[in-house]
Structure 1
Amino acid sequence: MQSQNKKKLILGITGSFGSGKTEVAGIFQSFGAKALDADKLAHGCLIPGTRTYKRIVSIFGKGILKRNKTIDRKKLAALVFDDKNLLVKLNSIIHPEVIRVIKQRIRNSKSGLIVLDAPLLIESGLDKIVDRLIVVRITKPKQIQRIKQRDSLSLRAILKRIGYQMPLREKAKLADF
């Protein structure tokens, strides 16, 4: 886990869905770190007209579009979290683009500390570009409560999404903190 630019410290923050990664990243940001949120960058890849948008629509169909031709992320999520193969396919489209954007933002940043907030940091291979890795852990009951409040998902949907991610105990084995 070593960044290519020795003038910048790249701190990776990961954890499970709803664990508080963004809150931890926000603490570092409040002290001057440049924060990169992989989820927000992924949402930017879904803008109509982009190559990623076109590939997703060609694979998942126009049924995932809203009237204004933007991707309905809830419809897309319902599809991919019901079929692991579709989730793998979606990730194979989005991850390379998000990784490209992250590397570009790191190169262009003037900050000496960059915090990368990414739920799939290890799974996507982004752990290879960070200098230190923090895994944010949370109890499952607290995690479920946070997700229900934030996303209004059913318990079944929450557990299914958590189940698709690398277990926290496995991520923790790779953590520096």
Structure 2
Amino acid sequence: MIFKLGLTGSMGMGKTSTALLFQKHNCGVWDADKAVHRLYSKGGAAVKPIQKYFPGAVKGGSVSREELKKILKKDFTQIKTLESIVHPLVSEDRKHFIDTTKFKINVFDIPLLFETGANKLMDKVACVYVSKTIQMDRIKSRKTMEYIEIKRILDQQMPIEEKSKLADFVIETFNKRDTEKQVLNIIKKIESDFNA
């Protein structure tokens, strides 16, 4: 039997860095974004269905995120079609991870955990949190997106205050040392409860 900890938060809150801290302390980590990358790569399960509905988005046998962004920029209502293709495939990937993991505690890094209902599959949920100012500074420092794109993604997500209220644990990610202490405390709590 394994323990499933959902890890969520908004863009720029420190989910990936926090997931790596859990991994450092002997937890398995499944990352929804990495699963999507696998599905979009050459031979990935999402390539053919995306080719069918978004023909211009497939280049050289893999899904071009840039081309997909252009298509969605023109007609954002198409996001529902894309999600209907990708979400079931991501669920299959997650199930495969659950069936094959060797770790007792497993962290599921899922940005849209509550929005997709994946929280119902978890034993507990942790939400990463940082102030709006720091969040925006982190996003801007990536220099990979325009403001309108950032806003569209954030608008699609549940407000962080709401996610925090629904979570069993809130991890403040202002600095790495304190974040790691919080991660260790959560692991200890899970181990204590799990072995009880």
- The structure 1 residue matched to 2:16, chosen from 22, 26, 46, is 22
Equivalent position of 2:95 in the other structure:
103
Q: How far apart are 1:47 and its partner, in Å?
A: 2.5
Residue 148 of structure 1 corresponds to which residue in structure 2? 140
Confirm whether residue 174 of structure 1 aligns to residue 166 of structure 2.
yes
Report what 2:46 is aligned to: 52
Distance 1:82 1:21 in 2: 29
Bigger CA drift: 91-100 or 45-54? 45-54
Residue 81 (structure 1) shift: 5.0
How many residues get paired? 169
Whether the aligned pair in 2 keeps the contact of 1:48 and 1:70 (CA below 8 Å) is: yes
Contact 1:81 1:161 survives alignment (8 Å): no
- 1:81-160 aligned at under 5 Å gives the runs 83-160=75-152
* 8 A contact 1:14–1:136 mirrored in 2: yes
Question: With structure 1 as the length reference, what TM-score do the two structures score?
Answer: 0.87
Aligned to 1:3: none
Per-residue CA shift, 1:68-99, capped at 9, x if unaligned?
A: 33221122123335544211211111111111
Give the superposition deviation at 1:103: 1.3
Higher RCO (C-alpha 8 Å, min separation 6): 1
* Structure with greater helix percent: 2
C-alpha distance in 2 between matches for 1:160 and 1:12:
24
Percent identity among equivalent residues? Answer: 37
Which digits, 9 at most, give the CA deviation of each residue in 1:152-172, with x for residues without a partner? 212222112111111112212
Of residues 3, 11, 30, the one that matches 1:9 is 3
Question: 1:139/1:81 Cα in 2 relative to 1: closer, same or farther (>3 Å)?
Answer: farther
* Structure 1 gap segments, 5+ residues each: 1-6
Change (3 A) 1:120 1:82: farther
Change (3 A) 1:81 1:12: farther
Cα separation, 1, equivalents of 2:155 and 2:128: 17
- Structure 1 residue 144: Cα displacement: 2.0
Instruction: Identify the range of structure 1 (108-117 vs 138-147) with the bigger mean alpha-carbon deviation.
Output: 138-147
Give TM-score, length-normalised by structure 2: 0.79
Letter in 2 for 1:121: L
- What is the CA–CA distance in structure 2 between the aligned matches of 1:140 and 1:78, rounded to whole Å? 27
For residues 96-119 of structure 1, the C-alpha deviation after alignment (integer angstroms, 9 at most, x for no partner) is: 111111111112111101010010
Per the alignment, residue 34 of structure 1 pairs with 28
Give the greater-gyration-radius structure (CA).
Answer: 2
- The alpha-carbon distance between structure 1 residues 150 and 70, as it changes in their structure 2 partners (threshold 3 A), is same
Note the residue ranges of structure 2 that are not aligned, 5 or more in a row: 170-196
Whole-angstrom CA distance in 2 between matches of 1:57 and 1:88 = 16
